Amino acid sequence: MAKGEMSAYAVPVDATSGRCFKEETASGRTEFQRDRDRIIHSTAFRRLEYKTQVFVNHEGDHFRTRLTHSLEVAQIARSVAANLGLNVDLVEAISLAHDLGHTPFGHSGQDALNESMAAYGGFEHNLQSLRVVDHLELRYAQFDGLNLCFETREGILKHCALKNAQELGDVGRRFIDNQRPSLEAQLANVADGLAYNNHDIDDGLRSGLLQIEDMINLPIFGQHLRDVAKEYPSIGVHRRISESIRRTVNSFVVDLTNESDRLINEASPSSLQDVRESCELIRFSEAMEGKHRELQEYLHKHLYRHYKVQRMADKAKRVVRNLFKAFEDDPGLLPTRYQVQARADTPRAISDYIAGMTDRYAMKEYRQIFLIDPV
Ligand code: MG
């Protein structure tokens, strides 16, 4: 297949199974381009700039944020999609929207909010991303949310407990029927892991929490570090790291493209329905999957559980937990919009408010509520 040509197993360019609220088709844009544009223009998307990936936003200007992470996921996913004959616009829309529901302070924020919401159905960032695009963005005259296409919404919902799937209707159906989502959704999911593994190595080294000498024996990245040093002995350490990261991303992208191509050819799906009934077809080869996992484990042990990261995470949890408790004790402290929502469901209104906060907004709100003399 020529690069950029769409295959029979891709989600067709203009054949969405629909939006919740029926709209006229847009002139000059496909339905999925329109979804992508709505996501980029949303408030939740702009907030990603000030939400933590691993390092809290104020810790440095060059660390990834949820926004740059989402852009990197979209870039990787688009390149692979074009090579596999998939719907590039859909994969881009899903990638850009996949983290819209993330709380402030990364995973520690999510864990704290989930604990606070334990008695009220819990909190899960995937489900929250869907809530953002389905309900929480208020910018269109005719409907709440962004009224995205079914395929985009389905792609945003990566995983989902059966209990929640039953409440979600059509978009949760595949979890009940044990079916796969589109290849575009599968690709955005794998590109997410690929992107963060690589950029977290980069950020970990930049922060000084990871050391290059300790990583020389890691699979793929360690090999590239050694090769680059041999080929270019006089380049500085920053260029050596960047060149090695670039090559590592490329190694994973090439493997993902080749293995997925092989699996698709083997399963030879001739329609989207075949894709749904097949096993997952967008994957790394087994060997590369193992190496990917090894890098992930290394990051867990040496970066995510580093005491300096843990200290910030602990503080972040306290901020989220205490904010939740204060609003729960007195919903009258919530801004008006959330007070209105709280009349129907107080815990969910608090959860929506906190989940929407950026890191710095959460810290400011914490000072406003708990300090007598907020600075
Ligand atoms: Mg992500």
Closest CA to 144 of 20, 293, 286, 274: 20
Distance 254 CA to ligand 1 centre (A): 20
The pLDDT of residue 110: 96
Distance 70 CA to ligand 1 centre (A): 6
The pLDDT of residue 283: 98
pLDDT band at 367 (very low <50, low <70, confident <90, very high): very high
pLDDT tens figures, 138-158: 999 999 999 999 999 999 999
Distance 69 CA to ligand 1 centre (A): 7
Tell me which residues have their CB within 5 A of the ion that is ligand 1: 99, 192
DSSP 258: H
pLDDT band at 7 (very low <50, low <70, confident <90, very high): confident
Distance 179 CA to ligand 1 centre (A): 22
Picking from 53-57, 63-67, 226-230, which range would have the lowest pLDDT averaged per residue? 53-57
pLDDT band at 4 (very low <50, low <70, confident <90, very high): low
Closest CA to 263 of 275, 251, 249, 273: 275
Tokens of 10: 């891709």
CB burial of residue 105 (10 Å; 0-12, 13-18, 19+): buried
The pLDDT of residue 63: 87
Q: What homologous superfamily is domain 31-266+273-310 in, according to CATH?
A: Hypothetical protein af1432 (1.10.3210.10)
Distance 33 CA to ligand 1 centre (A): 21
The mean per-residue pLDDT over the stretch 8-21 comes to 86
The mean per-residue pLDDT over the stretch 320-327 comes to 98
Q: How far apart are CA 282 and CA 155, in angstroms?
A: 14
pLDDT tens figures, 170-228: 899 999 999 999 999 999 999 999 999 999 999 999 999 999 999 999 999 999 999 99
Distances (CA, A) of 58 to 63, 244, 272: 10, 27, 44
pLDDT band at 374 (very low <50, low <70, confident <90, very high): low
- Percentage of the chain with pLDDT > 90? 85
Indicate whether 1 pLDDT > 60.
no
The mean per-residue pLDDT over the stretch 228-251 comes to 97
Indicate whether 166 pLDDT > 60.
yes
Indicate whether 332 pLDDT > 80.
yes
Please spell the DSSP secondary structure of 305-334, one letter per residue: TSHHHHHHHHHHHHHHHHHHHHHHH-GGGS
Tokens of 80: 């692979």
pLDDT band at 356 (very low <50, low <70, confident <90, very high): very high
Distance 93 CA to ligand 1 centre (A): 13
Residue 206 CB-half CA count within 13 A: 17
Closest CA to 105 of 371, 310, 296: 310
Indicate whether 75 pLDDT > 90.
yes
pLDDT band at 25 (very low <50, low <70, confident <90, very high): confident
Distance 251 CA to ligand 1 centre (A): 20
How does the average pLDDT of the chain come out, rounded? Answer: 94
Distance 334 CA to ligand 1 centre (A): 29
Q: Tell whether the torsion through CA atoms of 210, 216, 220 and 225 is positive or negative.
A: positive
Picking from 6-10, 233-237, 346-350, which range would have the lowest pLDDT averaged per residue? 6-10
Q: Tell whether the torsion through CA atoms of 223, 224, 229 and 231 is positive or negative.
A: positive
Closest CA to 275 of 90, 36, 96, 33: 90
Tokens of 77: 């996913």
- Percentage of the chain with pLDDT > 70? 98
The pLDDT of residue 239: 97
Comparing 133 with 4, the larger pLDDT belongs to 133
The mean per-residue pLDDT over the stretch 61-90 comes to 95
The pLDDT of residue 301: 96
| Site of tokens 């904010």 | 323
Comparing 341 with 159, the larger pLDDT belongs to 341
